[in-house]
Amino acid sequence: MMLQLTAPGKTFLLGEYVALQGGPTLVLTSQPCFNLTAKYSSEKTIPVIFENIAKESPAGKFLLHYADAFKGCRLSFHDPYHGLGGFGASSAQFLFVTMLKKLLQDFSLTTHYRIKELLTEYLQFAWNGEGMKPSGADLVAQAQGGISYYYKDQNKLQVLEWPFKHINYYLLHTGNKLPTHQHLKELALVTTHQLADIVFAGLQHLQTNNAQGFINSINQYAEALHALALVDAKTVGLLQNIRSRAEVLAAKGCGALGADVILVLVETKDHPLFLDWLVQQKLNLISYGNNAQAGLQIIKDVGLSL
């Protein structure tokens, strides 16, 4: 038998650092999607084989911990970002293997998981007790798809669509790759009240289709992160260059120190002009559009075997 699982890339629109303290986040999911191909044999003497998943990663630790459950499986993970970082490869891997374990127990499942259970398992394998523990908000977003509003402390989860059809988002990769787990080990406690207030405002603007309000929230959050010295120096320089363009409505670094990914908002009508400039500047455009991507998907094909 063969299974294929897919999950989108993720980008924090708002909520970096707030999420680490259980606060509200808004996470966008986008193409291209990660996927895991799982070939399964009924021969239970064959140990699990997994490709492109590091043994020391959360997914790798999970697979080794539950090795008996995965006997007869050959797993191959595909990263369409080719290891660039910042789009959620590690969390996608973990989502895949936890879901696959359930499917191997009950092949009739489509998707079935509980957020609290998923996050509890994730922390077991993703955090060794040193430094700040990861929020898991990216994991939740990749499971759900769309724009995920997740407020862990209030046990709130809402999935929204991108409502601004006249505005494109652009996701640029900086060329940096900051190991998030190392950053969290070294991170001091951040005062997040102001940041959380901006997330709440951003949520309201999404819900009411207030494009200018949302643009303001993105820019305000970017400014607040800079004021807290939570923006990588290279990202600061790139943001200054990007904001010099008249067509740019908003820009911010996303994720840990904004080091890996930059989000830019531009009116759809200005797409050709902005795209030409990106090419001239040799900036690495990974994804753009005005639609969020679907979450975890499972494709089953019972006609194939090892």
* Residue 302 pLDDT level (bands cut at 50, 70, 90): very low
CATH number where 13 lies? 3.30.230.10
Residue 202: CB partners within 8 Å, gap ≥ 6?
A: 13, 14, 26, 214, 217, 218, 221
On whether both 7 and 138 belong to a single domain, the answer is yes
Find the domain containing 182 and state its range: 162-289
CATH number where 248 lies? 3.30.70.890
On whether both 103 and 183 belong to a single domain, the answer is no
Taking the whole predicted model, whether its pTM rises above 0.75 is answered as yes
∠ Cα 96 100 101 (to 5°): 125
> Distance (Å, rounded) from C-alpha 109 to C-alpha 191?
42
Q: Is residue 130 part of a domain?
A: yes
User: Which has more confidence, 260 or 302?
Assistant: 260
Position 5 pLDDT exceeds 90:
yes
On whether both 34 and 103 belong to a single domain, the answer is yes
On whether both 45 and 65 belong to a single domain, the answer is yes
Instruction: Please report, as a single letter, which amino acid is at residue 69.
Output: A
Please tell me the predicted confidence (pLDDT) of residue 111: 66
Q: Is residue 306 part of a domain?
A: no
On whether both 131 and 187 belong to a single domain, the answer is no
On whether both 84 and 131 belong to a single domain, the answer is yes
Please tell me the predicted confidence (pLDDT) of residue 44: 74
On whether both 106 and 241 belong to a single domain, the answer is no
Instruction: Please report, as a single letter, which amino acid is at residue 292.
Output: A
Q: Domain total for the chain?
A: 2
On whether both 18 and 116 belong to a single domain, the answer is yes
User: Which has more confidence, 40 or 28?
Assistant: 28
Within 13 Å and on the Cβ side, how many CA atoms surround 282?
1
On whether both 192 and 285 belong to a single domain, the answer is yes
On whether both 8 and 118 belong to a single domain, the answer is yes
Most confident range (mean pLDDT) of 125-134, 179-188, 288-297 is 288-297
Instruction: Please report, as a single letter, which amino acid is at residue 241.
Output: N
On whether both 14 and 142 belong to a single domain, the answer is yes
